[in-house]
Structure 1
Amino acid sequence: MIDFSEWVSVASQMTNRSLAGSRVLVDDTAENNTYDSAENNTKNNNKNIEKFLKSSQSWGIIPTTCKKDADFDATQSLENLKNTTINAPSLSGKDAIDYAQKHMPVMQTLLSELRKKELDLQGVRIAVCLVLEPKTAVLLRELHAYGATVGVFCAPDETDQRVADQLKKEGIVVQANRSWTPAQTHEGALKLLDEIQPNIIIDDGASFARLASLERPQIAEKLIGVAEETTSGVRAFEAMQEAGQLNYPVIAVNNSALKTDFDNRHGTGETCVTTMQKILGSACFRNAKVTVVGYGPVGRGFALRIRALGANVTICDTNPVQSLRAVFDGFEAKNLECAVTSSTMIVSATGVRHTITLQHMQKMQENAILAVIGGIANEIALDEIRDFKPIVGTSQRQIQVPNGPQITLISEGDGTNYTTGGGNPIEIMDFSFAVQVSAVAYLLEHNGKNANKSNNGKNRLNAGIYQLPEASDNQIASIALEKRGYSASEANKNNGYRWDLTRFAEEESN
């Protein structure tokens, strides 16, 4: 049976499908239909299968022995796996988008359901600022098909050029080019704002909405609202609100359970591991001493997975509760100043500027590997290294730290999975973009053209940060379960509960 480290690296990077939540064929000769735990073995007590099963638990993989139900086949050789698996990065722009669309039924079903409830996108102008790759293209396609005027901006290092070119052919406004200079990037962002004149922005890192607030205030003041995708973006909007500069409603998509619990932990956590394997080799985590900085959903998802691949992991987090959570997950928790000196690999997962300072880099070991899986500008203080200039498309390179060691920098210190890899898995982004669609619908329901007619303006959203109602997550999760052949359980609606019925009252009645 194929080595687990090799299998996850190839299966993830070639298909861009989610391994978490997938059914994986581990033994097509066994009599049982599924394996319940790592202790179950095949009839021949196959040690390779046992090892695969043990590792797969931390990756959220569902082992199966039923071939027709399997999403992936781990029983074949590595060579056969490579020869029989679709290679998504090699597809044309159109084929890559079509391939992603085939595996994104949740968002499409949700749009259909919302349309039945009178979601009307005709005349709505939506500017999207997200990593531009096939999954994002599916979101753009769907919004466009439902009548919205849609445009997208993306920075050069986050742009899949084949996708950008294809979307232009499909009539979607695109301001993105992988060869742009910083000045051209800025100009392109403003061009999209001017051309689309958006009343809704779907944002990543609050980048586009802040640009509108600072350089196109006449557009910002007319916004119905913003749907924000990321932790760092919500943090930026909170700072704007605190400073009295937030003049429109923001839906914190990132705070949705369907976003944080899946996109962050299983999407980013998974693909950052396999992208680093792609760059450094499938066995790169075996016996490595890895410091993960930040134990939020991204850091936790990453740490649990690399431990299953053989890494010795230390966690550094400024939050005592998160640090304690790491300890109870079986990790050591240390101060970053101490941890960097003994680590062969340091990975930042905070989304906070200058998490890794120049002083931290100066204390690192010679040839230590340094990467970011959070993903904001200068999460590593590379701006303090005078002669450092990022090169788009560089997966790794050696840099000399002033008065310090030579270290290996991954993906130019930017978010590893979307700059060098294929981004988060298709199924995971299906959930996230379904939440984005819900956010758009919520903004239109409360602040759209028909909002005042339906509720006399009573439920209008003022400037501020809002979270989607729990019912939104439940609707999306129910669709996702149904598409995968599962369902949630039903509660007993008549359980005899009364607030005044305590254990003492029950004992007396007996």
Structure 2
Amino acid sequence: MAESITARLDDPETAITDGAQKIRWAREQMPILDALRDQLAADRPFDGEVIGMAMHVEATTAVLVETLVAGGAEVAITGCNPLSTQDDVSAALDDTDGVTSYAKRGLEDDAYYAAIDAVLDHDPTITIDDGADLVFRIHEHRPELIDSIKGGCEETTTGVHRLRAMADDDALEYPMFAVNDTPMKRLFDNVHGTGEASLVSIALTTNCSIAGKTVVVAGFGQCGRGVARKADGMDADVIVTEVDPRPALEAYMDGFRVMPMVEAAEEGDLFVTTTGNRDVITPEAFERMADGAILANAGHFDVEIDLEGLEAMATETVDARDGVTGYVLPDGRQVNVLADGRLVNLATPVAEGHPVEVMDQSFAIQAVGAREIATDADLDAGVHAIPDALDREVAEIKLDAEGVAIDALTDDQREYMDDWQHGT
């Protein structure tokens, strides 16, 4: 089994102190998880459960872990991206009763998967994933664990796509909640979280303004909408590239210019991929980019920007700035890639991930989803929607925490909405 992070740090005590401070700050900004923690501590739905997690290990994730532990869970966690772990937060988690953390920033592939295997050595009964690496590892390399796993939750678009592909091939052998697809996650995390956090990280990493730049956003799903709208609000000229006619038309009707990537490459100053697919920006586009173009990925895995193709074109690479690699092309132009093409809102040296308030909502969905798995034995293998009642529960807790009151349907209104016999 791989060692937990505490054994791999030169100064674990300082890391634990610093990480605990970050977690404390996040906890104070997360009222939904605070309310759920009190409920779970009273009901103890996770007594006897082992929750295995592969997530971005930063402060808001730590608050989710604390919430699950308060409900009786034992938690083993590692990272879901080699560059998104905050080592001090991981160390603070590892120092928490009921938690073992194997996450460490900068792991090479073998060590990354060894850490996932270490989580699986705890024999989880519930899994919580971001990108489906944990689920895939179980099915491909640890199938003996499947019979004892009640189910799991998947955080992000890319992971849900992978799970649906597994289900379509009859390869997914236990139930998974598609947390990403529920309104309280999709409409807030993907739009406001990805949109805001990505642009903030780009601005801080480069020390360049968004205003006045031509920003090319690849993809107009929920994440792309967020990046495009936030960039527009920061006074950028926004171009959207798409492969689907419907979101392309939506982007056009929202006032954005829409064109193929090879055309946008000639105009863009800053390129942000949000598709979850591979080879979105390729050598054909690199050849057309201006000197100093900045490339960032806000999708998921580091395959959206064709870095192998870019490296093959380049005569040299330079460390342009902390978190920025410059690729010098034969004609002297330099194309700059942030965070090695990994998630820009989490993998740059200054990145903090999504805003705390956004992650409070998303991780509350994870918590109630895991609670549903622990208490409901009737789920079949496959991908499931989060029950609407759970999504509404999280929304109601958030409104209550913000002091926002709303109207309620009267009996007559409810009867009117439910009765098909009412006509004109």
Q: What amino acid maps onto 2:324 in structure 1? A: Q
Q: What amino acid maps onto 2:342 in structure 1? A: D
SS at structure 1 position matched to 2:255: coil
The reply on whether 1:442 has 2:372 as its aligned counterpart is yes
Q: What amino acid maps onto 1:104 in structure 2? A: M
Q: What amino acid maps onto 1:232 in structure 2? A: T
The 8 Å contact of residues 397 and 410 in structure 1, kept in 2 or not, is answered as yes
Q: Show structure 1 runs of 5+ residues with no match.
A: 1-88, 448-459, 504-510
Q: What amino acid maps onto 1:344 in structure 2? A: D
The correspondence of residues 426-465 of structure 1 with structure 2, limited to 5 A, is: 426-447=356-377, 460-465=378-383
Q: Deviations over 1:264-309 (max 9, x none)?
A: 111111111111111222x521211111011111111111111121
Indicate the percent of aligned positions where both proteins have the same amino acid: 30
Q: What amino acid maps onto 1:412 in structure 2? A: D
The 8 Å contact of residues 40 and 71 in structure 2, kept in 1 or not, is answered as no
The 8 Å contact of residues 362 and 404 in structure 1, kept in 2 or not, is answered as no
Pick the aligned partner of 1:131 from 41, 53, 56.
56
The 8 Å contact of residues 131 and 300 in structure 2, kept in 1 or not, is answered as no
Deviation at 1:502, TM superposition (A): 2.3
The 8 Å contact of residues 178 and 385 in structure 2, kept in 1 or not, is answered as yes
The reply on whether 1:219 has 2:149 as its aligned counterpart is no
Give the structure 2 partner of residue 70 of structure 1: none
* Partner Cα separation in structure 2 for residue 441 and residue 479 of structure 1: 16
Change in Cα spacing, 1:289 to 1:500, as seen in structure 2 (3 Å) is same
The reply on whether 1:419 has 2:347 as its aligned counterpart is yes
Give the structure 2 partner of residue 349 of structure 1: 274
The correspondence of residues 49-448 of structure 1 with structure 2, limited to 5 A, is: 92-113=18-39, 118=43, 120-154=45-79, 155-171=81-97, 172-194=99-121, 196-281=122-207, 284-385=209-310, 394-400=322-328, 405-420=333-348, 421-447=351-377
Change in Cα spacing, 1:312 to 1:399, as seen in structure 2 (3 Å) is same
SS at structure 1 position matched to 2:176: strand
The 8 Å contact of residues 110 and 476 in structure 1, kept in 2 or not, is answered as no
Q: What amino acid maps onto 2:117 in structure 1? A: L
Q: Deviations over 1:412-434 (max 9, x none)?
A: 11111111210011111111111
The 8 Å contact of residues 361 and 404 in structure 1, kept in 2 or not, is answered as no
SS at structure 2 position matched to 1:489: coil
Deviates more, 1:406-415 or 1:362-371: 362-371
SS at structure 1 position matched to 2:266: helix
Change in Cα spacing, 1:390 to 1:428, as seen in structure 2 (3 Å) is farther
The 8 Å contact of residues 219 and 274 in structure 2, kept in 1 or not, is answered as yes
Q: Deviations over 1:27-66 (max 9, x none)?
A: xxxxxxxxxxxxxxxxxxxxxxxxxxxxxxxxxxxxxxxx
Q: Deviations over 1:124-175 (max 9, x none)?
A: 0001111001111111112122211101111431110111111122232111
Q: Deviations over 1:100-127 (max 9, x none)?
A: 11111102313434566x5521110001
RMSD: 2.3
Q: Deviations over 1:70-100 (max 9, x none)?
A: xxxxxxxxxxxxxxxxxxx9x8111111111
RCO comparison, higher one (Cα < 8 Å, 6+): 2
* Partner Cα separation in structure 1 for residue 337 and residue 158 of structure 2: 22
* Partner Cα separation in structure 1 for residue 370 and residue 174 of structure 2: 14
Pick the aligned partner of 1:474 from 375, 385, 392.
392
Number of residue pairs the alignment of both structures matches:
398
Deviation at 1:464, TM superposition (A): 0.7
Give the structure 2 partner of residue 502 of structure 1: 423
Give the structure 2 partner of residue 23 of structure 1: none
Give the structure 1 partner of residue 11 of structure 2: none
Deviates more, 1:333-342 or 1:244-253: 333-342
* Partner Cα separation in structure 2 for residue 252 and residue 160 of structure 1: 26
Q: What amino acid maps onto 1:237 in structure 2? A: L
* Partner Cα separation in structure 2 for residue 246 and residue 126 of structure 1: 19
Change in Cα spacing, 1:185 to 1:501, as seen in structure 2 (3 Å) is closer
The structure with the largest alpha-carbon Rg is 1
Pick the aligned partner of 2:407 from 483, 486, 489.
489
The 8 Å contact of residues 190 and 222 in structure 2, kept in 1 or not, is answered as yes
Q: Show structure 2 runs of 5+ residues with no match.
A: 1-14
* Partner Cα separation in structure 2 for residue 257 and residue 317 of structure 1: 23
The 8 Å contact of residues 119 and 441 in structure 1, kept in 2 or not, is answered as no
Change in Cα spacing, 1:408 to 1:485, as seen in structure 2 (3 Å) is same
SS at structure 2 position matched to 1:128: strand
The 8 Å contact of residues 363 and 404 in structure 1, kept in 2 or not, is answered as no
Deviates more, 1:173-182 or 1:437-446: 173-182
Q: What amino acid maps onto 1:442 in structure 2? A: E
Q: What amino acid maps onto 2:422 in structure 1? A: L
